[in-house]
Structure 1
Amino acid sequence: MADWRLINVLVLGIGFMFIFSAFQTCSMVEQTVITDARDAPNSTFTGNGYTSLATIYVVFAAANWIAPSVVALCGPKWSMVLGGFLYLLFIASFLYPMTWALYVGSVLVGIGAAVLWTAQGSFLTLNSDAETVGRNSGIFWALLQSSLLIGNLFSYFELRGATTISDSRRTVLFGVFSGACFLGVLSFVFLRKAPFTSSKEIQNVNISSSGIRTGPGEPNGTEVVNVMEDRPAGPVKALVQSFKLMATKNMLLLSVCFAYTGLELTFFSGVYGTSVSNTKILKDPDALIGICGMFIGAGEIIGGAAFGLLGKRTNRFGRDPIVLLGFLVHTVAFFLIFINIPDIAPIHKTEDVAYFYSVFPNEYVAVLCGFLLGFGDSTFNTQIYSILGFMYPDESAPAFALYKFMQSLAAAVAFFYSDVLMLKWQLLILQVMCVLGSFCFFIVEWGASHLHGPGMYTSID
């Protein structure tokens, strides 16, 4: 029984690795690919990458409220097959760019994302118990984050030396992405129904919507958390619970931090890669997107391992020092990007230098900034998972729904303004929200520490 659960977790992680090797790399090169397709001779294509990505996150935010019903109807396994298939349709639409297909695909993948992640959380719960949940969530996290390395490594070799992404090069790129996504969807078909789990085995298990364990820690080091129901709550009930929770002081404060993670998600997953590609004074800028993406993934993996999987050791002084580290890392990253990347780069191609005319864009600084963006993102997200599980053990579903909702909504807003605002204004918005989000997190964390006493910290280990 235990062996089949572990096999299920491995197959689940591999499936997500294939799907997100394709999708996350697709997101990073989307605006560049679309710009080149739009500028091609005799092209009738008028799509916009930022608008497409904004649409994805708007729909994703809204679809979070219907996804539990889909999972209850179809079951976790076939819900993941459905969600993954919608990702495949979106990626395949780039093989022959058509404006209507781009935006229809964006709507479909937004729905697919909500269904896929809700089903994944449920499936991982059913295949875990109190003793294996840490191991299983760690395996899933590692396989998921490796997608950034794999997809961007292929992107680097495929785009190396390219000045534009031609039709033939785009066909190869998205043909491989489509194939990888198909393998991910196919792997879900081989998932087996989880063996029967007694209530004693699962009474201490709780998996968030992203599949990472959360829960309150006790002074003696043990953890007591609640199990996600086998049948997810309906969207109306979840919505009512979420709005009630949203009205509380702590959740309003945390929502500022949630929104910040959405803004910086937009920046590192779409805007930064486009800006690097558009900086033509850099050496081989299109291929550099892949290298930056790999280092974003490396930062995510290292940060996730340090503050998630090894959280009992690194969280001994609480969550606020880790969030403070994330704040400092992102502040340094934003400053280096400001002095390294031209102001107009998020919008169109340029051979300008950055803000200081004596400082020319540098490939090594661009790659370093990618690592800092990924590492800082992991610090914020691991500690958000931790504090939500700690403070809302009996309301984890609406708490995480609010987190995903606010994050997705902020990401959508950021993609809308990314196509019109110069880089300095985007970085200013990020820095202001970084300060506000960190400060609001500190207030909630200090309040929780005061109420529950020292040592009452949890992690996603």
Structure 2
Amino acid sequence: MIDKSFVNVLLLGLSFMLIFTAFQTMGNIEKTILSSITSEDPTFTGNAYYSLAIIYVVFSIFNWAAPSVISVIGPKFSMVLGGCAYLLFIVSFIIPKTWLLYLVSTIIGIGAAMIWTGQGNYLTLNSTKRHISRNSGVFWAMLQLSMFIGNLFVYFAFKGKDKIDKSTRTVVIWTLSAVAVCGVFVLLILPRATKESEDDDEDAVEEVPEGPIAAFFGAVRLFMTKDMQLLSITFLYTGLELGFFSGVYSSCIGFTQAFENRKELVGISGLFIGVGEVLGGALFGILGSKTTKWGRDPIVGGAFIIHAVSYFLIFLNLPNSSPFNDTNESAYMTSNAILAIFCSFLLGFGDSCYNTQIYSLLGSVYADKSAPAFAIFKFTQSVGAAVCFFYADSLVLYGQLAILLVFGTLGTISFIWVEWTAKKQNTLKRSEDEKGSAANLT
């Protein structure tokens, strides 16, 4: 028998892999692309960091409306609308206009709320508590293949170039647009969500459909609970580090003149971020059932250590002014390209650990209200990313690393606290069930 629910998860992962091969690659090189456009056309004043900040501000606001939209049109068509917004954003770079850049940044923010809340809902509807960790890990690994594929393409497209000319930009933009179209098509053919019949027991989770108004107020009530507010600190940190590795760190490498072929290194950095993401997702997908038994807290604790090490190495290796423009400023050590790329891998692997465990926790603890839970996750995460991009254009590298370290510490502690609380509740529930079964037998 074919596990139809797992096939649905694979199709979901494929669609996101294609769409985000296009978008994450564009986000990774946006600063480099726009700097080249400005050098050719001084009237163009678009700022990549501000563009990304707008995306995540709008994303955060519209996350509150996403559960209501899903309650009306369902997760599939919510994701299709979101995918079309991502496609529009990428195509818009063919016409470099400052006003257009910020307009499509607003549109993609709305689309992002639709696609990500729909994704969390669809993934949960195709999962049982027994398999949510496996499905989350497999989805995450497939999604993050986008970083590997897209940045490998960028490496060869930018190879040997110090400035990214118009013809190169055109080839990159149209190629990424075609990939995004394929991703939207896969979303269109997604089957209806279903759970494997052999698991339709006490492990199976069902979400009761709500109307749009009830869905909105349900999300607000959930956000006000103690555990969700603690988790929001973790979500905020994942947004801050997402902004850093997806839009700032690779730009820092590309602006560091101590590196030879520094523009090529932008693509290699993104590629190794993707390698770390895929490895983490595959690891926790394959070992999903075992890691659930160990608990999610040691994985998140390990992710924090990995990120802390990467921040320290970046502090030593890159100039303080590298987030802004080309710089020949010295770092604390002689800037080393291999070490910079190794930090890219650490950033990706640590991010994968955080996100797979968040998906796993939300899909099990909040299985009966997954749409508002994932909306809150993406709301808080996108706020963090927006904040990161707003200060990225004015705050030196060392200041950015200090913020990441502080919030990483707080976010890790918060996640572990909620995980321990969930364990205690599960243990208490099992104990009560066992007592009830014993009483029935007597």
Q: Which residue of 1 aligns with 2:270?
A: 293
TM (norm. structure 2) is: 0.88
Q: How does 1:260-299 map to 2 (within 5 A)?
A: 260-299=237-276
Distance in 1 (alpha carbons) for counterparts of 2:152 and 2:88: 23
Q: 1:194 to 1:316 in 2, by over 3 A?
A: closer
Q: Provide closer, same or farther for how the CA distance between residues 443 and 7 of structure 1 changes in structure 2, counting only shifts above 3 A.
A: closer
Instruction: Kindly provide the amino acid, as one letter, of the partner of residue 94 in structure 1.
Output: F
Q: How has the CA–CA distance of structure 1 residues 336 and 24 changed in structure 2, closer, same or farther, with 3 Å as cutoff?
A: same
Match of 1:220 in 2: none
In the TM superposition, what is the alpha-carbon distance from 1:256 to its structure 2 partner?
1.1
Aligned length, in residue pairs: 430
Structure 1: runs of 5+ lacking an equivalent: 205-222, 457-461
Say whether residues 1:31 and 2:31 are aligned partners. yes
Q: State how 1:173-184 maps to structure 2 within 5 Å.
A: 173-184=172-183
Alignment partners' CA distance in 1, 2:296 and 2:318? 32
Output the amino acid matched with 2:229: L
TM-superposition CA deviations, 1:362-388 (whole Å, max 9, x none) = 110111001100111111122222333
Contact 1:126 1:194 in 2 (8 A): no
Q: Which residue of 2 aligns with 1:449?
A: 423
SS at match of 2:294: coil
| Amino acid corresponding to residue 194 of structure 1 in structure 2 | R
Q: Which residue of 1 aligns with 2:84?
A: 85
> How big is the shift at 1:187?
3.2
1:320 lines up with 2:319 in the alignment: no
* Match in the other structure for 2:438: none
Aligned counterparts of 1:8 and 1:296: Cα–Cα separation in 2: 26
1:367 aligns with 2:341: yes
| CA distance, structure 2, for counterparts of residue 331 and residue 137 of structure 1 | 25
- Counterparts in 2 of 1:372 and 1:429: CA distance versus 1, 3 Å: same
Deviation at 1:395, TM superposition (A): 3.7
Identity of aligned residues (%): 50
Q: Matches of 1:389 and 1:127 in 2, distance apart?
A: 10
**Residue number in structure 1 paired with 2:359:** 385
1:25 aligned partner, one-letter code: T
Distance 1:236 1:411 in 2: 28
The CA distance in 1 between the partners of 2:52 and 2:177, in whole Å, is: 18
Q: Deviations over 1:291-349 (max 9, x none)?
A: 11111111112212223441322344322221211111000000011111111111111
After TM superposition, give the deviation of residue 440 of structure 1 in Å. Answer: 2.0
AA at the equivalent of 1:425: G
* Partners of 1:307 and 1:315 within 8 A in 2: no
Superposed CA deviations along residues 46-82 of structure 1, whole A, max 9, x for unmatched, are 1110111011111111222223444444444443332
Are 1:351 and 2:328 an aligned pair?
yes
Of structures 1 and 2, the one scoring higher in RCO (CA 8 A, sep 6+) is: 2
In structure 2, the CA distance between the partners of 1:431 and 1:95, relative to structure 1 (3 Å rule), is same
Cα gap change, 1:142 to 1:287, in 2 (>3 Å): same
Verify the 8 A CA contact 1:4 1:194 in the aligned structure 2: no
- Cα deviation 1:391-428 (Å, max 9, x = unaligned): 43444333322211111111111111111100000000
Q: Is the CA contact 2:117–2:374 (under 8 Å) kept in the aligned structure 1?
A: no
Distance 1:383 1:129 in 2: 15
Report the more deviating stretch, 1-10 or 284-293.
Answer: 1-10
Q: Contact 1:27 / 1:270 at 8 angstroms: preserved in 2?
A: yes
Q: Which residue of 2 aligns with 1:53?
A: 52
DSSP 3-state at the match of 1:38: helix
Q: Is the 8 A contact 1:65 1:238 kept in 2?
A: no
Q: How far did 1:176 drift? A: 1.1
Q: Distance in 2 between matches of 1:160 and 1:277?
A: 13
State how 1:157-176 maps to structure 2 within 5 Å: 157-176=156-175
Answering whether residue 370 of structure 2 is matched by residue 396 of structure 1, we say yes
CA distance in structure 2 between the partners assigned to 1:148 and 1:253 by the alignment? 30
Change in Cα spacing, 1:134 to 1:417, as seen in structure 2 (3 Å) is closer
Distance, in Å, in 1 between the alignment partners of 2:343 and 2:361 is 27
**Preserved contact between residue 280 and residue 353 of structure 2 (Cα < 8 Å):** yes
Q: TM-score, normalised by structure 1?
A: 0.85
* 2:230 aligned partner, one-letter code: L
2:305 paired with 1:306: no
RMSD: 2.9
Q: Deviations over 1:139-196 (max 9, x none)?
A: 533322211110010011111111111222211111211121122223334x16539x
Output the amino acid matched with 1:185: V
Question: What is the identity, as a one-letter code, of the residue corresponding to 1:428?
Answer: A
Q: CA deviation at 1:20?
A: 0.7
